[in-house]
Structures are given as C-alpha cells and as structure tokens.
Structure 1
Amino acid sequence: MNKDQRLLSLLGLCQRAGQLITGEELVLGEVRKQTVKLVLLASDASSNTEKKIKDKCGYYKIPVCVTSDRYALGQAIGKEARVIIGVRSEGFAKKIAALLSQ
C-alpha cells in the first residue's frame, strides 16, 4: 500500500469511529471551538476556501494538511466529494499528520 492508500484507509477507519467532521461551515465552527486536532484540505479546493481555512486554522493553531483531491477524500469516507475534513481524535490526527509528513 502506498502513502495515499494508507491515508485514505485511515480516513475510512476514522469515519467509522465517528471522529470526522466534513463541510466548510461545520469544520470552521469546530475550529473556533478548538475541538478538531487536524484539518485536511483537498488539493483541488478553491483558492478562496484554501485561504479562509488556512487563516482560521492558523489563528487557532490547528494544523492544516493539503492532500488528495475532493473525490478521493469523499470516497475514502463513503460520501460524495469532500473538500474539507476535520479530525477530532488526537490519536488519528497524529497518525495522519505523521503519514503525510513521510
């Protein structure tokens, strides 16, 4: 399994564990409450969305990782295309961040 496949598999596991939030407004709300530990942004997100997410997460000191396209992210969690995913679990967030930094 390559890095992308492992990431998408891990996201699926995280979704089944109920530790993901998707959708721009929902994720931004959770960022404000500081309940998410990591935010994943699709590589094909609009520049406006990317700036908004990175600015908000930067302010609240929540790491942001740009990864696969929206269709791969959506498929990994069993939903339609997803541009933004928030990870609530500290353990999953650390594992995903470590995987992305390889």
Structure 2
Amino acid sequence: MLDKSTISLLGLAMRARKIATGDVLVKSIRQKKVDFVIIAEDASDNTKKKYIDKCTYYHIDYCVMGQSEELSQAIGKNNRVALGILDKGFANKIKSK
C-alpha cells in the first residue's frame, strides 16, 4: 500500500517528465539514467525477476511496493507494473518514505 505523500510525489515526478515505464524503462536502466525503480507487488514473477536482475546488474536501487493499480493511478497511465525515477531528488525523497 502506497501512502498519500508517495502517490503525490509520483504524480509530481510524472508531470515533470521524470518517470520512465515499459520499454523506455528497460532502456533507461541499461543507460544508467534511472536513479530508483519501483516494482508493483502484484507484478508477475517473471516481470519482477526481469526488473530486479536488471537493477542488480546495473547497481540501481529498487523496491517492490504497492499494487500495479496504485502505481498506474499515481502517474495517470494504465497497466504499469514498474516505474523508473529519472531524477535524484525525487528518487531520494521517495526512498526516504
């Protein structure tokens, strides 16, 4: 369950164009443009493994939290199971929550 402050931070980061999802997220992880990755708890095991392995290999912090519906709603997009934060400030603020 995401708290309100995390949800509002994700919304703010999305409006600032500092969030990557989907194929862009995988590409951004490879290019080390991502500072933090959030993976939904209800993502499939295969999807979780893919993002966790990528983050581990490229030394990027990640966490598994919230439901995909919550993450999707927070950024105003449908069916998102992983979000990459592209800004250190937003990443640090969300990590501290």
Q: Give TM-score, length-normalised by structure 2.
A: 0.94
Aligned to 1:6: 5
- CA offset at residue 5 of structure 1? 1.2
The count of aligned residue pairs is 97
Q: Distance in 1 between matches of 2:96 and 2:79?
A: 24
User: Cα RMSD between the aligned structures?
Assistant: 1.3
Consecutive unaligned residues in structure 1, runs of 5 or more: none
Q: For each residue in 1:13-40, what CA deviation from the matched residue of structure 2 results, as whole angstroms up to 9, or x when unmatched?
A: 10011100111x2211100000000011
Q: Which amino acid is 1:58 matched to?
A: T
Question: CA–CA distance in 2 between the matches of 1:20 and 1:60?
Answer: 18
Verify the 8 A CA contact 1:37 1:88 in the aligned structure 2. yes
1:30 aligns with 2:14: no
Amino acid at match of 2:49: K
CA contact (8 A) 1:37 1:90 kept: yes
Report percent identity of matched pairs: 45
Q: Could you give the per-residue CA deviations for residues 66-88 of structure 1, whole angstroms, max 9, x where no partner exists?
A: 11111111111111121010100
Aligned residue identity for 1:18: R
